[in-house]
């Protein structure tokens, strides 16, 4: 699932290689593309005699833009999200804490369910033995129905509590990671840092743009320092 990435040697400054950036900016690229589109429209509609000549010029300009993009006009890096979550110490500790809380709530719910089942079986035996009057049977049935509703409500409350805890942990992780990326990028100057994971919107990325191990190392260093 996640590609193993060698851990950088301790003590070495974290300085990922950055592709050489073209002088062309994002806004310039957009303007050029729009300008090319206008030229095509103008050629087809108003200058049929120069159509072939201008088409050749347009193709040449588009080729130049494509080359500039390929050479790194956009300076992009990516982080493998699965690798990050599988090795970030804070994420691992949060997962352990969540699982402990989940087991605690499940055990409490199961204990209450067993107690309810035991009381229900006792009630059924007493009915079979004829040990209860009709009034007592009716009263006990109401009590058991109330207990059953309480168990169902408790189950829902516990599920909501776990969902809220999971959301809270995810928000904290997101804030930690984005805060570090923001500080990290002041030095590195990437235009985009993407999140890569199997099944995500990014279908392919070159390994040279992978900065996962650098981000992971910084995250764990800061967590350990705290």
Give residue-wise pLDDT tens across range 32-69: 444 445 445 444 444 455 556 655 665 565 555 555 55
Cα torsion 183, 187, 190, 194: sign: negative
pLDDT at 103: 97
For the record, the structure tokens of 95 come out as 């997962």
Residue labelled with tokens 């500790």? 93
pLDDT higher for 127 or 34?
A: 127
- The proportion of the chain whose per-residue pLDDT surpasses 70, expressed as a percent, equals 67
- HSE-CB for 202 with a 13 A CA cutoff: 16
pLDDT at 206: 86
pLDDT at 116: 94
pLDDT at 27: 46
Average pLDDT, whole number, for the chain? 78
Question: What's the CA gap between 54 and 60, in Å, rounded?
Answer: 10
pLDDT at 196: 86
pLDDT exceeds cutoff 80 at 146? yes
Cα distances (angstroms) measured from residue 60 to each of 36, 48, 65, 66: 11, 19, 9, 10
Question: What's the CA gap between 223 and 173, in Å, rounded?
Answer: 11
Confidence of residue 226 (pLDDT cuts 50, 70, 90): confident
Question: What's the CA gap between 78 and 72, in Å, rounded?
Answer: 14
For the record, the structure tokens of 191 come out as 């235009």
3-class SS of residue 45: helix
DSSP state of 23: S
Mean pLDDT throughout 64-86? 74
For the record, the structure tokens of 209 come out as 């743009």
Mean pLDDT throughout 185-193? 89
Q: Are 22 and 71 in contact (CB under 8 A)?
A: yes
Question: What's the CA gap between 106 and 100, in Å, rounded?
Answer: 10
pLDDT at 1: 44
Mean pLDDT throughout 181-189? 91
- Over residues 15-37, the pLDDT tens digits come to 333 333 334 444 444 444 444 45
Q: State which H helix or E strand residue 179 sits in.
A: helix 134-188
pLDDT exceeds cutoff 90 at 93? yes
Mean pLDDT throughout 195-222? 89
Say which residues have a Cβ less than 8 Å from residue 111's Cβ, sequence separation at least 6. none
76 pairs with which residues across the strands? Answer: 192
Closest CA to 27 of 67, 77, 64, 74: 74
The maximal CA–CA distance of the chain, rounded, in angstroms, is: 107
Confidence of residue 199 (pLDDT cuts 50, 70, 90): confident
For the record, the structure tokens of 214 come out as 């650098």
pLDDT at 118: 95
Beta strands in 51-111 (DSSP E): 76-80
Poorest-pLDDT segment among 93-102, 120-129, 158-167: 120-129
């Amino acid at each position: 699932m996640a590609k193993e990435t060698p851990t950088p040697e301790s003590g070495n400054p974290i300085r990922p290689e950055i592709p050489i950036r073209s002088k062309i900016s994002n806004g310039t690229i957009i303007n050029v593309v729009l300008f090319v589109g206008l030229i095509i429209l103008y050629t087809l509609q108003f200058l049929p005699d120069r159509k072939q000549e201008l088409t050749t010029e347009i193709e040449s300009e588009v080729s130049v833009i494509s080359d500039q993009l390929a050479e790194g006009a956009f300076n992009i890096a990516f982080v493998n999200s699965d690798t990050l979550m599988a090795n970030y110490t804070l994420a691992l500790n949060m997962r352990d804490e969540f699982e402990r809380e989940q087991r605690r709530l499940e055990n409490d719910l199961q204990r209450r369910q067993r107690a309810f089942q035991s009381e229900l079986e006792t009630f059924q035996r007493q009915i079979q033995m004829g040990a209860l009057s009709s009034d007592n049977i009716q009263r006990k049935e109401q009590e058991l129905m109330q207990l059953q509703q309480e168990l169902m409500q408790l189950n829902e409350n516990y599920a909501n509590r776990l969902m809220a805890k999971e959301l809270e942990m995810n928000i904290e992780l997101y804030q930690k990671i984005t805060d570090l990326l923001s500080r990290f990028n002041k030095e590195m100057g990437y235009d985009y840092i993407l999140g890569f994971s199997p099944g995500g919107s990014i279908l392919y990325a070159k390994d040279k743009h992978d900065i996962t191990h650098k981000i992971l190392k910084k995250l764990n260093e800061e967590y350990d320092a705290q």
